Amino acid sequence: MTFQFKCDSANGFSEVSGSLSFDDDNLKFEFQNNFFGLVKGEVYDVKIPFSQIEDIEFVKKLFSRKIIISVNSLRNLDKFPLLDEYVIKIPVKKKNIEKANEFVIKSNFNFGQYKLKQLG
C-alpha cells in the first residue's frame, strides 16, 4: 500500500511531494523538494527500518490530521525534510483521511509482525 502526500517542509522553505509505503522490515519514503514553486530538487528514496521506529499513528483533530512517525535514531534521515527532532509529521488532506488511516493500520500490523519476529 502507498500513501501519497504533498506538504510544506518542516523548515517551511520548500514544498515536499512524495509517497510513503512499507514492506516487512521498513517504512519507505520517496520524495522530492520543490523550492519556492520554481526549482525541483532531486528525488530521494529513504528507508527507515522498523528497528528505528518507536510509533506510527494517525492523529485527527478538529482542523488538522497527520500521520506521525516517531523514530529512535536520526540515522539516514539527514536529508529528510519532514523531520522535526525525532518526529516525522505528514499532514493529511481531508479527502485522504480514510486512506491515511488505512495506511497507518496496515503499517502498524507489519510493524507488530516485525516486533514479534524480533522476540522469537
Summarize pLDDT for 76-91 with one digit per residue, the tens: 888 788 888 899 999 9
Range of the domain at 35: 2-119
What's the structural domain count of the chain?
A: 1
CATH number, domain containing residue 90: 2.30.29
CA distances (Å), 102 to each of 57, 77, 83, 107, 109, in order?
A: 11, 25, 22, 8, 11
The predicted model gives 95-102 an average pLDDT of 96
The predicted model gives 47-67 an average pLDDT of 95
Q: How confident is the model at residue 36 (pLDDT cuts 50, 70, 90)?
A: low
| pTM, to two decimals | 0.88
Q: How confident is the model at residue 11 (pLDDT cuts 50, 70, 90)?
A: low
pLDDT for residue 42 is more than 80: yes
C-alpha span between 81 and 107 (Å, rounded): 21
Residue 77: phi and psi, rounded to 5, are -110, 15
Say what the pLDDT of residue 10 is: 65
DSSP E strands in the chain: the ranges are: 2-8, 14-22, 26-35, 39-49, 53-60, 65-71, 83-84, 87-91
Average pLDDT score over the chain: 90
